[in-house]
Structure 1
Amino acid sequence: MRVRPCWHTSRLFGYLALIGKIGCGFGCTCILELLWESFSRNK
């Protein structure tokens, strides 16, 4: 599994990522990105 920066998100979820960083720190943003990536892959 490759490591990616927490802030590397698609433009569509850029705003959600920003809220995640402010609301609960970088951890939530990383989790959201991982979930979105796995979801897109399973499509």
Structure 2
Amino acid sequence: MVTDLNDLQSASLIINTFNSQLHLTFTTIAGDNLAASEIA
């Protein structure tokens, strides 16, 4: 599963629509309450 998520993050997910393409990827930030408050 981790390998699949890493591949998705580096290559993105491409969805073809009727007149365009959507490129999707993700980002995860993990931290405790104090660290998360500093990011926001």
Identify whether the pair has TM-score above 0.5, normalized to the shorter chain. Answer: no
Higher strand share: 2
Per the normalisation by structure 2, the TM-score is 0.32
Q: Bigger relative contact order, structure 1 or 2, given CA contacts below 8 A and separation 6+?
A: 1
Structure with more of its chain in helix, by fraction: 1
TM-score (norm 1): 0.30
